[in-house]
Amino acid sequence: MIKNRVLALDASTTHVGFVVASDKYEVGWQIAYKGDLDQRMLAIGKEVQQVLFDFLPHWVAIENPVFIKRGRGGTGGVPTFYKLSKIIGMVQYLCLINGVKVLEVHPWSVKLALAGARRASKKRMREAACSFLGLSEIGEHHADAVGVWLSWKKKVLGR
C-alpha cells in the first residue's frame, strides 16, 4: 500500500475529475454522467466506491462547492449549488464509511496550487495541468482534480 495516497476529486453536476496520487501523480481521468440527478448520483457513487476499493487511498481531497450568483437577483446559481452539495455530501459519506480521511479545499487554493493565480481561468488551468503532466490535452475536470491534489499536497505534506 502506498503511504499517503490521495484520491483528488473535482465534481460538477455532470462531470467528475479523478486523480490518484501520493507524492507523485499516478493516474487521472474524468467521466461525464447523464440522466437525472438521482441517476448521476448513483453512477458517481458507484465510481467513487470502485476507486476507493481499487486504489485504497488514505485521503480524499475534494473541492468545496461555492455559490456563484447568476442571473437576475443573483439566485440563478442556487439549484446548481444545491445539486453539487448533494453530490459532494454523498462522496464524503462514502469516504467516511470506508475509513478514508476527507480534506475539503477551496477553489481559489486549487487554482493557486496549479496555475499560480487565485482567479485562473479554466483555459489556464488546463494549460497548467498539461504543462505539469507533460500532456498535450486534458479535460477541464481532470485538470482541476490535478489542482485539488496539489492543494492537498501543500496542506498535508507541506510540499
Cα 141 to Cα 18: distance, rounded to the nearest angstrom: 8
At residue 105, the pLDDT reads: 95
pLDDT tens digit sequence for 37-77: 999 999 999 999 999 999 999 999 999 877 666 666 555 56
At residue 81, the pLDDT reads: 84
Most distant CA pair in the chain: distance in Å?
51
- Taking 50 as the pLDDT cut, the residues of the chain under it are none
CATH number at residue 33: 3.30.420.10
- What is the count of structural domains for the chain? 1
Q: pTM for the complete prediction?
A: 0.91
Range of the domain at 129: 6-157
